[in-house]
Amino acid sequence: MIRYEGTLYRPPSEADSLILQATIGCSYNECTFCGMYRDKRFRVRPLVELEREIDWAAHAAPDVRKVFLADGDALIAKTSFLLDVLANLRAAFPALQRVSCYASPQALDVRSTDEMRALREAGLVLYYVGLESGDDAVLERLKKGADSAELARVAAKAHAAGVKLSTMILLGAGGRARSREHALASARLVNTIGPRFVSTLVMTPVEGTPLFVEAGRGEVDELSPLELARELRDFLAALELDGTVFRSNHASNYLALAGTLPKDQARLVAALDAVLARPDDVTFRRRRGL
């Protein structure tokens, strides 16, 4: 059977995927807002353990079509190891269509385009990348470990390898003071990258993180639901994309929106304008905790 270590995280769109913990934790683990892997020391799991789990899953769920390689940063593992894992997955699941993983900017920097291409040809076709912001001041405050130019550079490597990207922007990360800069700079970065998917999450101080400590000291200027709607509106209106799927379906969002850009852009912006036009009629609430 599959024994998961610690709390398991996966993107909303991997809800029906087989989750395989190829690595434990995040090799970077420095982002101030991220509490997902604070309790884990990063390591790559032995291939033999993964082979046993794949073998078990092949009998328990032979029709698996999608696999997500956890935890936070599987792409940092050696290419030869990932190629072995992917070969095992292809052999075990005849209907396998795609394998995906989170990819930190640090992992995207370390892996060469040729390595990413070899992995893509072996089935690893989609990376989820937390850009968080295109505003360098925000990225620095979040300790993302990369500025916007670096994020654009490493994302281009993945695209050159034929890998699809699903990018995430962290609403509220600039506080009130930099809300508009954060929204517009994030749109500029996403426009430069041109990902297949873009989604938004809302920055939330989680216990055990540096952000939570900052919030306790009163140093985090959290946006209200209406201010977040304004920021999302600014971000969406400034996007210039061609066939990118947008979603705000993570549990941290107040308002769930989805569409393909640019086809649905005017509808999405209008939905937010409608919310902003009736500030006293705030009917949207954070789904988490309802």
Footprint of ligand SF4 (CB under 6 A): 26, 28-31, 34, 36-37, 72-73, 104, 130
CB of 189 to ligand SF4, least distance (A): 16
Taking the C-alpha atoms of residue 264 and residue 221, their distance in angstroms, rounded to an integer, is 31
Q: Which is nearer to ligand SF4, 34 or 99 (CB)?
A: 34
CB of 72 to ligand SF4, least distance (A): 3
Q: Which is nearer to ligand SF4, 17 or 106 (CB)?
A: 106
Q: Which is nearer to ligand SF4, 26 or 268 (CB)?
A: 26
Taking the C-alpha atoms of residue 39 and residue 33, their distance in angstroms, rounded to an integer, is 14
Q: Which is nearer to ligand SF4, 79 or 104 (CB)?
A: 104
CB of 146 to ligand SF4, least distance (A): 10
Taking the C-alpha atoms of residue 151 and residue 170, their distance in angstroms, rounded to an integer, is 15
User: What is the side-by-side strand order in the sheet with 244-247?
Assistant: 18-21, 66-70, 98-102, 124-132, 164-171, 197-202, 244-247, 258-261
Q: Which is nearer to ligand SF4, 6 or 62 (CB)?
A: 6
Residues in the chain: 290
Taking the C-alpha atoms of residue 172 and residue 109, their distance in angstroms, rounded to an integer, is 27
CA 86 vs CA 127, 141, 289: distances in Å: 15, 36, 37
CB of 81 to ligand SF4, least distance (A): 19
CB of 41 to ligand SF4, least distance (A): 13
